[in-house]
Structures are given as structure tokens and as C-alpha cells.
Amino acid sequence: MSEKEKKSPGKKSTDTSPDDAEVTRSLSRYREQIDQLDEQLIRTLAERHKVVREVFSNKLSESAFIRDARREETLLRKVREMAMDAGIDPYFTEQLFRDIIYQSVRFQSHSLLDHSNNKLEVRTITVAYQGTRGAYSHQAAMRHFSERYDDVRCIGFKTFEQAAMAMVEGEADVAILPIENTTAGSINDSYDLLADKDLHVTGEEVLKVNHCLMACEPTPLEELRRIRSHPQALSQCSRFLAKLTNCEIQPYTDTAMAAQKIMEEGDPTQAAIASSYAAELYDLHILAKDLANQPGNYTRFVIVSREPMVCDPRIPTKTSLLLATVHEKGALLQCL
């Protein structure tokens, strides 16, 4: 045996494969590269948005249409070709750019609406909604207004009527109300408010409802002893909940309030069903996602104001017509 092959007394031979420490260092370097590329993507999107603002100003002065279907199709075709040349999935890339285009059109449409109503320079808005921070109504309000205003102030109320009246009485600029859900159907309380109060529908927001199970710690599901949420959310997640054993299902006032309660109590055996947005706000761990019995659960919200808004003809708009009939035979026929 040569000197190189001799083993030192008391020492074990080592494996020639890279050790765990080196693998960890390599993985960290790759992740740092990805983080840098992600930052570059964000900066590029921000620069693109600045150009979109300039495009809007140009369209405003020339009375040009917001959408250019031919331009969009040309761009998407070019994107697919570039993706294939770069060796990445053209379908994924096209979907990504469709979202970018949608956001651009959405920003320009909202800006044109604000310009038509002399609100382009207004940077603060107060929104009334039913629920508490992290509720789906709160999430929809932030999604609808955050791109248009520097400061979006949301005020939560116990009922839809209280939220609407806060707007009517001037405590808030607008109110946001859920009007229909793909699973639960029409929200009658909101329809009653539209029929009984002098409210003007001035916008809408469609939000995907993604129920998540969350707790203050990453607790295994079999160790959970109580789950709280709004009765409607519990009903929509009944199949998932039926699989849990030795676990009490407790109805609660609101999904976000249930999440807040879990955060305050700090008991890892208790969980809530609410949105991922609520989990982020209350610093909770998501234990499971997509809990609803039926996929594709969406809620349509309407924005209501004290006064109607002027709509530029270039903005795609909807007309909402509400009929309240007397409860008698042939009432609907007479309306038609």
C-alpha cells in the first residue's frame, strides 16, 4: 500500500462527494442570483409603468382609445416567439404578459375615469366596508383603489348598512358591497340597500375567494382542536372539515375576525379559515389552501357613491338596472 493510500490512525475515511455545507453554500448563491433577478424584474416593471403613464397622457391629449387590439395581438405574438427562442414556455410567458397588459389597461381606464370627474389629482380616498382588516371586502377595496391613490383609508363596520350609511353621511368617500358570489348566489342585504337607499354604483371588483386554514404556528392538522370562521365559509369548506377528527367547528362573526382571534389567543391547537391576505396581516401560518368544495369561487363587489360618475365613452362600462316590484301576481310581467 502506498503512502497516499495509508490511513491515519484513529481517522475514518471520508466520502468523496460534496459535503452538506458546500451544497448549502451553492444553493445560497443560486438563491441570491434569483433574488437579484427578481429585483431587476420589479425595477423593469416599474419603468414600464412609468411609460404607461406617459402613454395615457398622450392618449388623453389626442382623445385616443384606451385599447388597441391589433397592437396587443402583435405584442403577444412577438412575446410567444421570443419565449420559444429563449427556450421557455410560450404559454406561460403569454399569460404573464396578458396580466401585464390587463393591468396597463385597468390603470388607464381608472385614470380616465378620474380625469372625467376631476379627481385625477386626488391622492387619498376613504372606503367603508363590512368586516375588519383582512376581510374579503377589505382585500377587494385595497385591490380596487391602491393603484389609483397613494393613501387608501379603509373603515370597517359590523353590517353592510352601517358601511353604506357611513358613505351617505360623509364619513367615507365610497362604500364597497358584495353583490353576488358564484357559490352562494346573490347577497340580498346588498340588493336591499341598493333598492332602499340613494346609492350610485360607480365601479366593481371581482375577487377570487381562496379560503385558507391558518394558525399561529405550523400545527399538524391532526393536532387541531378548534376551527373558527364565518358560517358561509365553513359551509363552503365542509368536505375538507369533514376529514378532521376531534376538532370543534365554531361559527364566528367574520373570517378575518376569526383570524384576528387566533392571533390574539396564541393557541396553536386553534385555527381559522380566512383569506391568505388575512394570514399575512395577522402573521399567521397557512396550514392548507384552496379549501372550498367547488373551485372557482368568486365574489363580485360594487363600489357605491353619493353621486354618479361621468363615464368617458372610451371606457368599457356596465349599466346596472335594479327593479323592486310589489309582491303580487304578474308584477314582473308588467315590468317587462
The Cα 187–Cα 171 span in angstroms is 24
> Which positions ≥6 away from 26 have C-beta within 8 Å?
18
Contact in structure between 267 and 216 (CB atoms under 8 Å): yes
Contact in structure between 167 and 173 (CB atoms under 8 Å): yes
The Cα 51–Cα 57 span in angstroms is 10
For the annotated catalytic residues, the residue numbers are: 299, 301
C-alpha distances in angstroms, 89 versus 75, 94, 96, 331? 16, 9, 11, 56
Strands 248-251 and 226-229 turn out to be parallel
> Which positions ≥6 away from 302 have C-beta within 8 Å?
176, 177, 179, 190, 201, 203, 204, 320
The residue behind cell 367547528 is 249
Spell out the alpha helix ranges (H) of the chain: 20-62, 69-86, 90-116, 136-145, 160-168, 188-196, 231-236, 238-242, 255-265, 276-281, 331-335
